[in-house]
Every structure is written in C-alpha cells, then in structure tokens.
Structure 1
Amino acid sequence: MKVYEHIRALDPDGNRFASVLRDTIDQLLNGEATGRYDWKTLFKTEKTHAGTLVEINLQREFKFDDGADVADGQHPMDYRIRGIDVDCKFSQDFGGWMIPPEAMGYICLLVWADDYKSRWSAGLFRVREEWLNAGSNRDKKLTVKAEHRKNKILWLWHEAELPQNVLLHLPDSTRKEILIEGSRKGQRRVIELFRRVQNRRIGRGAIRTAAQQLDYMARLREGDGRARTVLREEGIVIAGPYSKHQAIARQIGAEVPQRGEFVSFRVAEAKPHHGNHPRVELGGRYWVLAEPSDLKETAPRLPKVTSEVEA
C-alpha cells in the first residue's frame, strides 16, 4: 500500500511518530503551567481535544498535504498521502476510534497511545461496513469490531514503546521528593529530578513540569546554582540528545537520550577495582559508571554543544 510504504520510509523505526505522541500528551498536560503529569487529571474537554492535536502535530511533523472534501463535500479528510485521502483517528482506549459514516470506503490512520502502559500503535484501516460496529451515538460514528482489529488493520507499528512519562511512573515517595511544593522552587525540583532519577530517559515534559517556568531549559544548563553545575559536584553528569553526548552515554554503558530527552548518571574515575567496565575519556582522564561504593568526586564537563542542536 502506497500510504504504508510512504510513512514507513519517512519514519523507519517509528521514533518520530512516538515523539509526536509523547509531545502531544505533554502538551495536553501542560505541566509547565499546571504541574500535572497524569492523564486522569485532564478535563473531559481536554481529552476530547487530544485527537485534534494528534492530527495537527502528525501533519506538522510529516508535512502531509491536506485531504479533500469527500461524501459530496460533507466530510473533510485530514491528509492526502501519495495522492490518497486519509482520515486520522486517535483514541487513548484501544479500539475506541470513532469513525464517521462519511469515511466509508476511505482509509483511516488509527492511532492509540497509553501513558500508563507506555505503549502506542498506529495502523491503516480501509473502512468497510461489515467490519464495523453500528454507531449508537448521536452522530452515528462507528467503531472497528474487536475481531477485525488484528486482521483488517495494517499495522505500521503495534504495541511499540512510548517514551515514558517518568513522573507518572515513579514511586509516590520519590515523586514527592522531586515535586517540592511552593513557588520559586523550580530550580530545586529540576535538580532533584536528575539527582533521584538516574540512568533513565527524562523527556522535556517532565522537566517543564518540575520547573513550572517558561525558561525551564535554563534550569538545566551550566551556571551558578543550576542543575548541571550543582550535580557535577556530586559526580553526576547530564547528557542531552546531541550526538557527542549520545556517544559518551553509549560508550560508558549508560542509557542513551533520544530526541527531546536527557539522562543523568554518576561517574567515577576508572580504578583497578572497576576491572573491564566500559569507560570514556573526558578531560584527559578515564571515567566509568560509578558503583554504589565509589566515593563522590567532581565529574568532568561534557563537551559543549554548539547551538544545542538535537541529534
């Protein structure tokens, strides 16, 4: 199918698609202004708006053309991909896609994401009456019959890994230690986030929620009292989604940050007791991932990234 081949060519491993879904959920949570990190805290109207945002953000990412008006002009399709009109439908409940009768005979891009399971799927479905449950709602929208969700949907990706909402998946006690209550505590919260959540990929959404400030990335950079400088004194470095930082994380055996992500990890200068542990040279010395028994020592600076362009 042309649409399948085109999307897979644009995004062979699904990382771009997954990033759009992660960013869209974070956009809805709006942690920077609200401090929210849990889908359940969204208002009903916000959840309803999720489908529209997914549709818009996918089009921005992949630059799909606008679709045509079909069914005698009654229904505007979302995209035109390789000359084929496609409707985009999102649901946070697998199988909950609401398909309008006007899309009958056309292709729908069905998208699902679950922040609690950290999983997502996207597939192409040719709308046929015999594969649908009759619409019982006011606008007669239809859903795909359960028995056809596997054999009639051409899955681009199925049950793929959604970049994790770190704050959502932390133990409650750890989360409380990070999300310190009170105004003007954004810097402290960001420092605690990277101090207590090490060797895990932390997305920008979590940083925004911790900082609750417009200039949230400034809380992360080098500078007096800022996260990289404070934590470096404890032996903790923060790698970002930049090729130089990714190479260091990979070489030392740490989790590698992807687009829009950061990873903190504690290092120690390589000593005989570290044996053949993976190591990396920084500042003329060799460093390994610190063991719990290693004493804290000031970590080296990671290479400066010109203009902070993400890999």
Structure 2
Amino acid sequence: MLDERVTNGGNMLPFEEADIIAATSVALHDVTAPPDPELDQVYEHVKALDPTGRRFATVLRDTIDQLLNGEVTGRYDWKTLFKTEKTHAGTLVEINLQREFRFADGEAMDYQIVGIDVDCKYSQQFGGWMIPPEAVGHLCLLAWADDYRSRWSIGLVRIRGEWLNTGNNRDLKLTIKAAHRDKIHWLWRDEPLPENVLLHMDAADRDAVFAAGSGQRRLNELFRRVQKRRIGRNVVRTVAQQKDYMKRVRGNGGCRSALAPEGIVIMGHYASHREIAGRLGLPLPDEGEFVSARLVPAGPDHRHTTRVILDGGEWVLAQPGDAVVPAPPLPPHTRED
C-alpha cells in the first residue's frame, strides 16, 4: 500500500520557479523507501477521519480568513498581511487542525495520532516547510495552501537528515530538498481550495462593491456582480464589515429583498435551495455559502434550457439580452434543511 501511494503521486504540484530544475530529477530518483508501519497507521487514521479532505480544506480556508480578519480590516489579500501575521500562520494551522480533529498533544512533537508523535508544518509557498532539527526521525504532517492558485495539499513524511537542504536559517530550521519531495506520502494533493472570491473577482467589479456605500449596499453590489459562483461567509463578513452580516443577505430587508426586483435570487445551503441550484447547473452552496443568479420566465427562446418550477411557473437562467423580470420567491426551508 505504501509503495502504491508513492507511485500514484505522479501528478506533480506546481513548484516554485527556483525548483523547476531540481524537480526534473525526481523521475530519475529512486523513490523506494523501507516499510514504515507507523506512517501507514497515521496515514490510514487521518484518511478515515476525513475521507474527502473537506474538513482539511475548510480548516485551511478558515485559517487564512482568520488571519485576514476581513470583518475588522476589510482585507482579502494575503499580501496585505503583516510579516508577523504571516509568521503566525503556521501556528494557527497547527492549532486549528488540532481543534478540528482533536489530536492529542504530542510528547516531543505537536500531536499524537494513534499514539505516534507527529509534527505539523504549514507553508503558503510549496516546499517552504521549515523543519526543526528535533523533527529529524519523526513523522511530519505537511500542509500547503495557496490562495492565489486556490489549491491545497496535505502529506506525511518521515524526516531524514540527508533529505534536508544544508543551508539553514537562524533558528536552524531546514527545508526538504526538491529532489526528495517524492518521499512525501500525499493524503490529498493539489486539491481545490474554497475560492477567495474577493481576491479572484474582476478588479473593476471589486472596486464597485467597496465603493457602494453602506454595508448593505456593498453586499447588494456583491451579489449583483458575482453571480453563479459560491460566495462564502467570510466574503460576506468582509464586504459588510458588520456583526449582523448574515442577516444582511436575508429577505426581510436584506439582499434577497433588494435584488428580487432585478430578477436575482440568492440560494443558500438549504436542501431546497441546493436542489434549485443543481437543476440550473449552478455550483451547490455548502453551509455558510450563497450563490446568486438572475432568472427569467421560460419562453420560446429557452426551449433547450434547463428550467425549474418556482411559484407555479417555469424559470431559467437569464441570458444577457433577456428583459429584467422580478424574481419568484424561493421555497421556504424547514428545520430539516
């Protein structure tokens, strides 16, 4: 099983430019390693805790958002963090993963997983994990997330001194040589990170959102300009910059009420809303997420267009040339939703 995981790591992650030459030697490098029952045990246990990787992805997304603190600062871009905040990212990832998965405290390393000491290292730059001398011989859980690429990875490796770069920083921490990154046993590799919509949206649209005035008007502009994409809780928080930010999306005076005359509906994570989004071919909003879209009544020009039944009529996604028609009400949700 161990050899199969190593072999199946053929889809290479994008390396930093300085690593490209070193990365070309990976295919020629002997990836065979002695059996490591402890690594196998930790690997299988962690995989069982999160078979899809969704929990890990959420922790990484939430940790980046925690650092940005958009509700207070209005920030959405990693580059705007202070150096001390970026340095603190690794500690926050370590803490938040331990809280999410309830890993026990380690004896010599950060965690104990199935009774085995495991260190945790995070880097926003792939390959930038800083390994302390005391971690040599131990297992390390390596985490990487890049908000600009919207990708993340989690892997396990047994640290060996000969696999580390000889140069060191003032804390004597070392990095793994590019040629030895093939020794990492990936739990999840180059997976999609929940999108930071504010970072990736059109710059002119983003400027218009933040120039719209009050928190409510900014949110209205956000859902007006960013349609057919999942918008997460933190994006809403950052744009609104108000403590009752989630209420600002609702129908009683919130975004749903304000945008309904323009034909725009806002679907949340409720089962009934997800069903509508799915029928329309839209991304399905998860908990704390929203997807907006403009609808029009189905007509002769929409003969081959996917439609949904709302308020007793058939509705389809609007095309740019379709006339604006007030949106139908979405179905009420129940506690089971």
Q: If the length of structure 1 is used for normalisation, what is the TM-score?
A: 0.91
Residue 155 (1) aligns with residue 186 (2)? yes
1:108 CA displacement: 0.6
Distance 2:270 2:90 in 1: 31
Alignment partner of 1:121 out of 153, 156, 159? 153
Q: Are the aligned partners of 2:165 and 2:174 in contact in 1 as well (CA < 8 Å)?
A: yes
- Compare 23-32 and 56-65 and name the one that shifted more: 56-65
Kindly indicate which of the two structures has a greater share of residues assigned to helix.
2
Identity %: 64
1:138 CA displacement: 1.9
- Amino acid in the other structure paired with 1:54: V
The 3-state SS of whatever aligns with 1:144 is coil
Residue 74 of structure 1 corresponds to which residue in structure 2?
none
- CA distances 1:76-135 after superposition (whole Å, capped 9, x unpaired): x22222222211100111111111111111111101111111111111011111111135
1:242 CA displacement: 2.6
Residue 304 of structure 1 corresponds to which residue in structure 2?
332
- Amino acid in the other structure paired with 1:257: P
The 3-state SS of whatever aligns with 1:158 is strand
Residue 48 of structure 1 corresponds to which residue in structure 2?
87
Number of residue-to-residue matches in the alignment: 298
Structure 1's unaligned 5+ residue stretches are 71-76
Alignment partner of 2:104 out of 55, 62, 65? 65
Residue 169 (1) aligns with residue 200 (2)? yes
Distance 1:296 1:227 in 2: 17
Residue 213 of structure 1 corresponds to which residue in structure 2?
242
- After superposition, residues 120-269 of structure 1 pair within 5 angstroms as 120-134=152-166, 136-149=168-181, 151-180=182-211, 185-224=214-253, 226-269=254-297
Residue 73 of structure 1 corresponds to which residue in structure 2?
none
The 3-state SS of whatever aligns with 2:120 is strand
Residue 112 of structure 1 corresponds to which residue in structure 2?
144
Structure 2's unaligned 5+ residue stretches are 1-39
Residue 285 (1) aligns with residue 313 (2)? yes
- Amino acid in the other structure paired with 2:278: R
Aligned CA distance change for structure 1 residues 156 and 259 (closer, same or farther; 3 Å): farther
Q: Are the aligned partners of 2:212 and 2:218 in contact in 1 as well (CA < 8 Å)?
A: no
- Amino acid in the other structure paired with 2:295: V
Residue 24 (1) aligns with residue 63 (2)? yes
The 3-state SS of whatever aligns with 1:261 is coil
Residue 299 of structure 2 corresponds to which residue in structure 1?
271
Distance 1:92 1:307 in 2: 39
- Amino acid in the other structure paired with 1:218: K
Residue 98 (1) aligns with residue 130 (2)? yes
- After superposition, residues 68-87 of structure 1 pair within 5 angstroms as 68=107, 70=108, 77-87=109-119
Kindly indicate which of the two structures has a greater share of residues assigned to strand.
1
